[in-house]
Amino acid sequence: MDYLQIQGPTKLSGSVDISGAKNAALPLIAMTLLASNEVTINNLPNVVDIKTLIKLLSNLGATATLNKCSVKIDTCCLTNTKATYDIVKTMRASILVLGPLLSRFGHCEVSLPGGCAIGQRPIDLHLKALEQMGAEISIEAGYVLAKAPNGLKGAHIVFDKITVTGTANIVMAAALAKGKTIITNAALEPEVVQLCQVLKHAGIGIDGIGSSELTIYGTDGRLVEIEPFDIIPDRIEAGTYMCAAAITNSEVTINKIRPDHLEAVSAKLEQMGFTLVVKKDSITVKPSTKLKAVDIITQEFPAFPTDMQAQFLALCTQVQGVSIIEERLFENRFMHVSELQRLGADIKLKGNSATISGKQQLVGADVMATDLRASSALVLAAMVAEGTTNVHRIYHLDRGYVELEKKLQSLGANIKRLKE
Ligand code: UD1
């Protein structure tokens, strides 16, 4: 197993290019199930989660040609509609094949994803919405068995909670359904917006893109032709490098990004006292001598993202004063706190709130990554910790960050990948 060894403290400088967004790529790969042609996806992040979903499609009978930053996927000859446990258990987002498989074939079996490190993460909202569209759903032997012998029908779906993959799943199901589907309380995340835009470009009628009410006009089973497209930049990867600049109090330019997808993150850094130079597709973070504590609440887009919570928690340990971070999306998303405490951070947890007292001089230690974003928070903290930190179990990190150690090395970090 690989681990990362980081020597701190360190200063960074220079610029870094951001890769395509993993969370946009996943639904867009699942979307190829709706295509009549071979689909070319560019600016693909070369990370494990992407390879996992491509493998899932290949197991179903799709052909996929993967290059470093692009993939061609052809699902025309696909006949198998069973997404098996061995793949789904490694990546919850596999559930994204449920909507498109059901709407195209009228039946499918998808393994239940189960819980994960950050909370229960049920899929009840996905299933309820598909039932409203006429699906018959049962759970047998750990699998979701879904049938719609006469095809899915448009319906008015009102999500009780905003769900990102739930919205994506229902958009894809609705695309081939019969008639009109309205999704009220839809997710506004840029990754959902891109899915809708690509489908619209392929000829699916979709109104309200980027709003909380989407109307999708289904094709009644007709597959669509999808032109090549580029995945949007990864706003969470970008935010993580902004935090890398901030925690080391260094000047770093983050390139190839969409600053409008990062407004909540940028606003928090400015509130802390950092100066940001925002251009069309880059942000430069400038160091500051006057930093202050902030309060953060994680919420759905466009508010502060839960996927940046761990990185900001690490950052708050280096700012004078008391910061409070409230996690509103996932019930168990503070696993990184005990690891940061091992480095010397002063953090108190109560319910879904973390109180961080800064500024603490962190000291290197052995720590363990517990989930994808928690892993990057540990790397950030390690860059300001005195001495050597070994971050173990970085397979979490490899699920979602493209060549993290190489990108950080190019900025001047003393980081290397070693074998246990
Ligand atoms: C997506 C992102 C993940 C991010 C999360 C929140 C992908 C692949 N993953 O995850 O990185 O942290 O959005 O921004 O895009 N819920 C239910 N029932 C459901 C579905 C969700 O109760 O059927 C709850 C969840 O437990 C959670 C909340 O709704 O509390 C939001 O979850 P959701 O938006 O669905 O997260 P994901 O799409 O899994």
Cis amide linkage into residue 268, ω under 30° from 0: no
pLDDT > 70? residue 115: no
Q: Please state, in angstroms and rounded to a whole number, the distance separating the CA atoms of residues 110 and 91.
A: 12
pLDDT digits (tens, 9 = 90+) for 137-163: 999 999 999 999 999 999 999 999 999
Tell me whether residue 196 is one of the annotated catalytic residues: no
Q: What is the largest CA-CA distance in the chain?
A: 65
pLDDT > 70? residue 117: no
Beta strand pairing call for 387-392 and 366-368: parallel
Average pLDDT, rounded, for the chain: 96
pLDDT for res 138: 95
Q: Please state, in angstroms and rounded to a whole number, the distance separating the CA atoms of residues 300 and 61.
A: 35
pLDDT digits (tens, 9 = 90+) for 359-397: 999 999 999 999 999 999 999 999 999 999 999 999 999
Probe residue for ligand 1, chosen from 329, 335, 397, 399 as the CB with the greatest number of ligand atoms within 8 Å: 329
Backbone angles phi, psi at 410, to 5 degrees: -65, -20
Supply the residue whose CA is at minimum distance from atom 35 of ligand 1. 163
Contact yes or no for 172/186 (Cβ under 8 A) = no
Q: Please state, in angstroms and rounded to a whole number, the distance separating the CA atoms of residues 36 and 17.
A: 33
pLDDT > 90? residue 414: yes
Q: What is the DSSP letter of 344?
A: T
Supply the residue whose CA is at minimum distance from atom 33 of ligand 1. 163
Task: Give Cα separations from 28 to 72, 175, 238, 348, 386 (angstroms).
Answer: 12, 13, 20, 39, 42
Q: Please state, in angstroms and rounded to a whole number, the distance separating the CA atoms of residues 30 and 113.
A: 16
Task: Give Cα separations from 379 to 159, 369, 370 (angstroms).
Answer: 36, 9, 12
Contact yes or no for 312/268 (Cβ under 8 A) = yes
Supply the residue whose CA is at minimum distance from atom 12 of ligand 1. 307
Determine the distance separating the centroid of ligand 1 and the alpha carbon of 24, expressed in angstroms: 14
Determine the distance separating the centroid of ligand 1 and the alpha carbon of 123, expressed in angstroms: 9
Supply the residue whose CA is at minimum distance from atom 27 of ligand 1. 329
Average of pLDDT values for 83-111? 95
Q: Say what percent of the chain tops pLDDT 70.
A: 99
Determine the distance separating the centroid of ligand 1 and the alpha carbon of 417, expressed in angstroms: 31
Determine the distance separating the centroid of ligand 1 and the alpha carbon of 226, expressed in angstroms: 27
Determine the distance separating the centroid of ligand 1 and the alpha carbon of 335, expressed in angstroms: 18
pLDDT for res 266: 98
pLDDT > 70? residue 118: no
Average of pLDDT values for 58-83? 96
CB-count burial class (<10 Å; 0-12, 13-18, 19+) for 34: buried
Q: Of ligand 1's atoms, which has the minimum distance to the CA of residue 121?
A: 26
Beta strand pairing call for 229-230 and 39-42: parallel
pLDDT for res 320: 96
Average of pLDDT values for 10-24? 98
pLDDT for res 55: 96
Q: Of ligand 1's atoms, which has the minimum distance to the CA of residue 26?
A: 8
Determine the distance separating the centroid of ligand 1 and the alpha carbon of 92, expressed in angstroms: 10
Supply the residue whose CA is at minimum distance from atom 9 of ligand 1. 23
Ligand 1 neighbours, Cβ below 6 Å, are 23, 26, 93, 119, 121-126, 161, 163-166, 191, 306-307, 329-330
Dihedral (Cα; 334, 361, 286, 242), 10-degree rounding = -20
| Catalytic hit among 76, 77, 116, 196 | 116
Dihedral (Cα; 328, 329, 335, 337), 10-degree rounding = -30
Supply the residue whose CA is at minimum distance from atom 4 of ligand 1. 307
DSSP H helical ranges for 33-163: 48-60, 85-88, 98-105, 124-132
3-state SS class at 418: strand
Q: Of ligand 1's atoms, which has the minimum distance to the CA of residue 93?
A: 8
Average of pLDDT values for 69-96? 94
Probe residue for ligand 1, chosen from 163, 234, 371 as the CB with the greatest number of ligand atoms within 8 Å: 163
Nearest to 383 by CA among 340, 323, 354: 340
pLDDT for res 31: 98
